[in-house]
């Protein structure tokens, strides 16, 4: 009987809810609890992909090796290629046909247009002319020949996909070699916004090329999609198998080139002076060494050589190949010690990029390689190249295109500088995701963009620590994405224009927020608030290492993060990745409580439900200042002074020694939290006391597991609480902070909110 007093405290909340449910809820329901396991949403684990999130014993991946001879006709902007593909079928199935991707076909004159359009009251002249006035650009592959051992192969082209019908199926475990000869007209990537093409420089008549998706590439065949032959519509990027490349690229003799892979004939294509500087660069760990100077590049701009030079590259275990070439290029390099291994950080830029590019590009590349390696795995390639291309931010193995250009006088704003450093960190970071952790971008944009934007945020902060002079007078790198508060405007926006992260990139409304900002923020919150850095970093590195040079799926990521940390995260994945719900937790009310021996009506009522009475039960009664049993004197008395029942219990059941250790909190608060937002999150509160001190308390997310709307918490305290603040450091992306404090703050009106937003 004695312990029943305490039992009732504990069960009080539950029994009230139970009664309410009996009265109002009649119909049964399926399990919609936000903490239920994700058996419905996730693919069933199997021999290829295990329940732990690691590759299974039957995991396989097919490979495609390429040998290519590429010729650039600079005058006419035409690229021609002779290509030999050897495809290795490591799958347990025989393949009746092969699918090859023809991404350039998105630029065919008659390519289907995916968007509806309408006449808006305002239009930019550029968009208007390209939509309604210009003749469409005549891009797209001209496929001249598809053959095997000299005999033509049957093939069918549908939009950006080409099916090749082999005379016999390609047996499991066997390889097939075939040739494709092709050419296409290279587009101007500045007027015809694309990831590949040339920029034309009026003043000197030169072009700078950034060339990618330029050759017919094998599609991925795997245990998840079969053939991944979802068309290239422009938003969803690429799904590509790993393979080895040998590529010869012939360009005007006065061009300077960088490309995926190791340059095989450096002595032939570099001058003696360049070779000498290159040898210096290999030993320069603190600053870049200029290999082609601005002066030399400016002289080359005037040459327009009629001779050609062939650059030969080899790359092993890459999923793609890209190159950049121009006679306008300045080239610099420095060595980076990446966890004990020497890697070259390289930059290529026309003079239009200076003075910004000579200052920061190669340093940003070097810093990125170190940061990303620390959080994932040691960067496995021998170099990483940053190419300056107007308006471009695009990634390929070992090489990427980046924007950020000073004005004609060489002046640039902080915005341009940080934009440039950030895009370099981002695109170089893509070497890790998806170039090495080779996810399917065509299906899941967030697996490379979101994960990469998260590591980018971490790497930017580390760059700020490494180069304080770059961020002065700031004390922290001004990251555009990653901090929880930055995603709030998106997450509280119009639900008609928000898609869950788990959506195909072609079908989302705001790709930047959907595939980059929100997943990056979710991972940042996971690291800082939910899992803590130690558990998160270990799990994240485990995922990266498990899937290095492999093809992971979302399940492999979700499962590994749990498997390596012992934290159940199904509620987090479901809420953040599968829904468009947002975080809004508030303080509904706070009450102060006292104890008394005088039976209250509510107390008697409750005892009755347990089949007992005040006389039979030595209970104490909990009241607020509003109850009639309350009198002002109670405020000044201690807990034991207010209840003889409690006093007697303590005397009877504790030794003198034990009694000394009992706490006698003077104040009892019940805080009722409400959750207007759909997402469940831990409750983080800061308690401020009358004596000027404060403390931070976190209640785990599981507090919401039996009630998704409100939950209450009793806070016993020796000190009077004067203020309670929810999420005081803005770490949960709470979309409405008007309900985050007690006593309630005056709600801001719209004008004040506008004023504050404008000041940000
Ligand atoms: Zn990206």
Share of the chain above pLDDT 70, in %: 95
* Confidence (pLDDT) at 402: 98
* Confidence (pLDDT) at 281: 98
Q: Closest Cα to residue 100, out of 171, 184, 48, 166? A: 166
Q: Ligand 1 centre and the CA of 454: distance in Å?
A: 11
- As a whole number of angstroms, the distance between CA 190 and CA 130 comes to 12
pLDDT in tens, 347-365: 999 999 999 999 999 999 9
* Confidence (pLDDT) at 753: 63
Q: Ligand 1 centre and the CA of 456: distance in Å?
A: 10
Q: Closest Cα to residue 517, out of 537, 533, 493? A: 493
Given a cut of 80, is residue 174 above it in pLDDT?
yes
| Residue 505 structure tokens | 């990139």
Best-predicted range by mean pLDDT (13-17, 159-163, 748-752): 159-163
When pLDDT is cut at 50, 70 and 90, the band that residue 19 belongs to is: low
- As a whole number of angstroms, the distance between CA 83 and CA 589 comes to 71
- As a whole number of angstroms, the distance between CA 260 and CA 519 comes to 29
Q: Ligand 1 centre and the CA of 45: distance in Å?
A: 29
Q: For the residues 637-654, what does the mean pLDDT come to?
A: 91
* Sign, Cα dihedral of 520, 521, 527, 531: negative
Given a cut of 70, is residue 551 above it in pLDDT?
yes
H helix or E strand, kind and range, residue 358: helix 356-375
Per-residue buried b or exposed e for 257-286, using 16+ beta carbons within 10 Å of the residue's own CB: bbbbbebeeeeebbeeebeebbeebeeeee
Share of the chain above pLDDT 90, in %: 87
List, edge to edge, every strand of the sheet that includes 694-699. 694-699, 683-689, 721-726, 741-742
SS3 assignment for 224-277: CCEECCCCCCCCCCCCCCEEEEEEEEEEECCCEEEECCEECCHHHHCCHHHHHH
- As a whole number of angstroms, the distance between CA 667 and CA 717 comes to 5
Weakest-pLDDT range from 18-27, 252-261, 451-460: 18-27
pLDDT in tens, 489-520: 999 999 999 999 999 999 999 999 999 999 99
Given a cut of 60, is residue 484 above it in pLDDT?
yes
When pLDDT is cut at 50, 70 and 90, the band that residue 758 belongs to is: low
Q: Does domain 444-580 have CATH number 1.10.390.10?
A: yes
Mean pLDDT of the chain: 94
* Confidence (pLDDT) at 128: 85
Contact 629, 621 (CB under 8 A): yes
Contact 36, 570 (CB under 8 A): yes
Q: For the residues 45-68, what does the mean pLDDT come to?
A: 98
Given a cut of 60, is residue 252 above it in pLDDT?
yes
Q: Ligand 1 centre and the CA of 635: distance in Å?
A: 61
Q: For the residues 187-206, what does the mean pLDDT come to?
A: 93
- As a whole number of angstroms, the distance between CA 136 and CA 130 comes to 8
pLDDT in tens, 382-429: 999 999 999 999 999 999 999 999 999 999 999 999 999 999 999 999
Given a cut of 90, is residue 6 above it in pLDDT?
no
Given a cut of 50, is residue 622 above it in pLDDT?
yes
Give yes or no for a cis peptide into 743 (omega within 30° of 0).
yes
Q: Ligand 1 centre and the CA of 477: distance in Å?
A: 19
Q: Ligand 1 centre and the CA of 208: distance in Å?
A: 22
Contact 322, 249 (CB under 8 A): no
Given a cut of 60, is residue 13 above it in pLDDT?
no
Q: Ligand 1 centre and the CA of 314: distance in Å?
A: 25
* Confidence (pLDDT) at 638: 84
- As a whole number of angstroms, the distance between CA 355 and CA 409 comes to 10
H helix or E strand, kind and range, residue 556: helix 554-563
Location of structure tokens 């936000």: 34
- As a whole number of angstroms, the distance between CA 19 and CA 205 comes to 82
* Confidence (pLDDT) at 554: 98
| Residue 378 structure tokens | 């040691």
* Confidence (pLDDT) at 203: 96
Q: Ligand 1 centre and the CA of 448: distance in Å?
A: 7
| Residue 162 structure tokens | 């080409």
Q: Ligand 1 centre and the CA of 387: distance in Å?
A: 15
Q: Ligand 1 centre and the CA of 396: distance in Å?
A: 10
Q: Ligand 1 centre and the CA of 430: distance in Å?
A: 7
Q: Ligand 1 centre and the CA of 282: distance in Å?
A: 29
Could you give the count of Cα atoms lying within 13 Å of 684 in the half-sphere of its Cβ? 17
Q: Ligand 1 centre and the CA of 252: distance in Å?
A: 31
* Confidence (pLDDT) at 636: 87
Q: Ligand 1 centre and the CA of 155: distance in Å?
A: 33
The CATH number of the structural domain formed by 63-116+124-443 is: 2.60.40.1730
Contact 299, 273 (CB under 8 A): no
* Confidence (pLDDT) at 760: 44
pLDDT in tens, 565-591: 999 999 999 999 999 999 999 999 999
Q: Ligand 1 centre and the CA of 446: distance in Å?
A: 9
Q: Ligand 1 centre and the CA of 510: distance in Å?
A: 14
Give yes or no for a cis peptide into 473 (omega within 30° of 0).
yes
- As a whole number of angstroms, the distance between CA 337 and CA 754 comes to 48
| Residue 84 structure tokens | 């030999």
Weakest-pLDDT range from 25-29, 77-81, 180-184, 471-475: 25-29
Residues 6+ apart with CB under 8 A from 403: 388, 389, 390, 391, 392, 393, 419, 420, 423
Q: Closest Cα to residue 525, out of 476, 564, 582, 578? A: 582
Given a cut of 50, is residue 9 above it in pLDDT?
no
Q: For the residues 175-180, what does the mean pLDDT come to?
A: 98
When pLDDT is cut at 50, 70 and 90, the band that residue 22 belongs to is: low
Q: Ligand 1 centre and the CA of 455: distance in Å?
A: 11
Q: Ligand 1 centre and the CA of 431: distance in Å?
A: 10
Residue intervals of the chain classified under CATH 2.60.40.1730 are: 63-116+124-443
Given a cut of 70, is residue 749 above it in pLDDT?
no
* Confidence (pLDDT) at 404: 97
Q: Ligand 1 centre and the CA of 632: distance in Å?
A: 64
* Confidence (pLDDT) at 115: 83
* Confidence (pLDDT) at 55: 98
Strands 161-170 and 154-158 turn out to be antiparallel
Residue intervals of the chain classified under CATH 1.10.390.10 are: 444-580
* Confidence (pLDDT) at 746: 66
* Confidence (pLDDT) at 639: 84
* Confidence (pLDDT) at 640: 85
| Residue 625 structure tokens | 């200042």
Q: Ligand 1 centre and the CA of 403: distance in Å?
A: 13
pLDDT in tens, 107-154: 998 888 888 888 888 988 888 887 888 888 889 999 999 999 999 999
* Confidence (pLDDT) at 7: 40
Q: For the residues 288-308, what does the mean pLDDT come to?
A: 97
* Confidence (pLDDT) at 131: 81
Q: Closest Cα to residue 263, out of 399, 76, 121? A: 399
When pLDDT is cut at 50, 70 and 90, the band that residue 752 belongs to is: low
Given a cut of 60, is residue 15 above it in pLDDT?
no
Residue 35, CA distances (Å) to 11, 15, 275, 342, 528 in order: 22, 22, 61, 46, 21
- As a whole number of angstroms, the distance between CA 399 and CA 70 comes to 18
CA triple 309-311-313, angle to 5 deg: 170
Weakest-pLDDT range from 274-288, 319-333, 532-546, 592-606: 592-606
């Amino acid at each position: 009987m004695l312990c029943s007093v305490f039992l009732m405290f504990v069960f009080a909340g539950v029994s009230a809810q139970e009664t309410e449910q009996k009265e109002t809820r009649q119909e049964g329901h399926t399990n919609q609890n936000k903490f239920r396991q994700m058996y419905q949403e996730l693919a069933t684990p199997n021999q290829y992909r295990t329940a732990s999130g690691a590759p299974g014993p039957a995991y396989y991946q097919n490979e495609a090796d390429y040998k290519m001879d590429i010729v650039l006709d600079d005058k006419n902007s035409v690229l021609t290629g002779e290509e030999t593909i050897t495809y290795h079928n490591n799958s347990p199935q025989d393949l009746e046909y092969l699918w090859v991707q023809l991404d350039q076909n998105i630029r065919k004159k008659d390519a289907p247009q995916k968007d509806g359009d309408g006449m808006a009251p305002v239009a930019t002249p550029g968009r208007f002319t390209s939509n309604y006035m210009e003749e469409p650009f005549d891009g797209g592959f001209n496929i001249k020949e598809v053959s095997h051992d000299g005999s033509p192969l049957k093939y069918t082209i549908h939009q950006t996909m080409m099916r090749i019908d082999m005379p016999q199926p390609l047996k499991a475990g066997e390889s097939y070699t075939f040739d494709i000869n092709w050419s296409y007209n290279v587009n101007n990537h500045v007027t015809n916004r694309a990831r590949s093409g040339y920029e034309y420089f009026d003043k000197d008549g030169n072009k700078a090329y950034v060339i990618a998706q330029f050759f017919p590439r094998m599609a991925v065949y795997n245990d998840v999609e079969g053939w991944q032959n979802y068309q290239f519509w422009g938003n969803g990027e690429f799904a590509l198998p790993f393979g080895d490349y040998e590529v010869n690229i012939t360009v005007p003799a006065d061009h300077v080139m960088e490309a995926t892979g190791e340059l095989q004939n450096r002595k032939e294509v570099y001058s003696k002076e360049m070779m000498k500087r290159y040898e210096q660069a290999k030993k320069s760990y603190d600053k870049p060494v200029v290999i082609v100077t601005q002066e030399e590049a400016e002289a080359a701009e005037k040459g327009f050589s009629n001779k050609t030079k062939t650059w030969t590259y080899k790359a092993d275990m890459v999923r793609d190949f890209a190159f950049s070439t121009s006679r306008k290029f300045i080239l610099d390099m420095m060595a980076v010690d990446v966890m004990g291994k020497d890697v070259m950080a390289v930059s290529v830029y026309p003079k239009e990029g200076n003075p910004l590019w000579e200052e920061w590009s190669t340093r940003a590349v070097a810093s990125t390689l170190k940061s990303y390696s620390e959080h994932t795995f040691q960067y496995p390639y021998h170099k990483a190249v940053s190419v300056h291309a107007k308006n471009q931010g695009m990634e390929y193995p070992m090489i990427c295109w980046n924007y950020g250009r000073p004005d004609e006088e060489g002046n640039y704003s902080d915005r341009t500088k940080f934009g440039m450093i950030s895009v370099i960190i981002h695109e170089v970071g893509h070497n890790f995701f998806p170039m090495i952790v080779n996810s399917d971008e065509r299906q899941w944009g967030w697996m490379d963009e979101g994960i990469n934007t998260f590591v980018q945020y971490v790497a930017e902060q580390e760059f700020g620590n490494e180069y304080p002079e770059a961020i002065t007078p700031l004390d922290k790198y001004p990251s555009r994405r990653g901090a929880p508060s930055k995603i709030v405007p998106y997450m509280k926006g119009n639900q008609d224009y928000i898609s869950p992260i788990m959506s195909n990139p072609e079908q989302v409304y705001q790709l930047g927020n959907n595939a980059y900002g929100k997943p990056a923020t979710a991972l940042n919150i996971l690291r800082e608030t939910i899992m803590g850095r130690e558990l998160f970093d270990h799990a994240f590195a485990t995922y990266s290492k498990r899937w290095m040079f492999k093809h992971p799926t979302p399940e492999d990521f979700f499962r590994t993060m749990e498997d390596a940390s012992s934290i159940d995260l199904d509620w987090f994945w479901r809420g953040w990745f599968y829904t468009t719900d947002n975080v809004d937790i508030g303080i509904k009310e706070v009450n102060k409580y006292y104890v008394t021996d005088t039976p209250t009506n509510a107390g008697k009522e409750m005892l009755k439900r347990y089949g007992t009475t005040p006389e039979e039960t030595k209970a104490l009664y909990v009241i607020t200042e509003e109850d009639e049993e309350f009198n002002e004197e109670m405020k000044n008395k201690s807990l034991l002074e207010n209840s003889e029942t409690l006093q007697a219990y303590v005397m009877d059941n504790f030794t003198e020694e034990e009694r000394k250790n009992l706490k006698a909190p003077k104040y009892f608060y019940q805080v009722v939290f409400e959750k207007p937002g759909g997402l469940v999150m831990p409750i983080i509160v800061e308690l401020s006391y009358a004596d000027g001190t404060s403390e931070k308390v976190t209640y785990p997310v599981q507090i919401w597991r039996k009630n998704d709307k409100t939950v209450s918490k009793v806070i016993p305290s020796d000190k009077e609480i004067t203020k309670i603040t929810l999420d005081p450091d803005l770490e949960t992306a709470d979309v409405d902070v008007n309900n985050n404090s007690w006593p309630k703050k005056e709600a801001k009106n719209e004008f004040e909110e506008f004023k504050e937003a404008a000041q940000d």
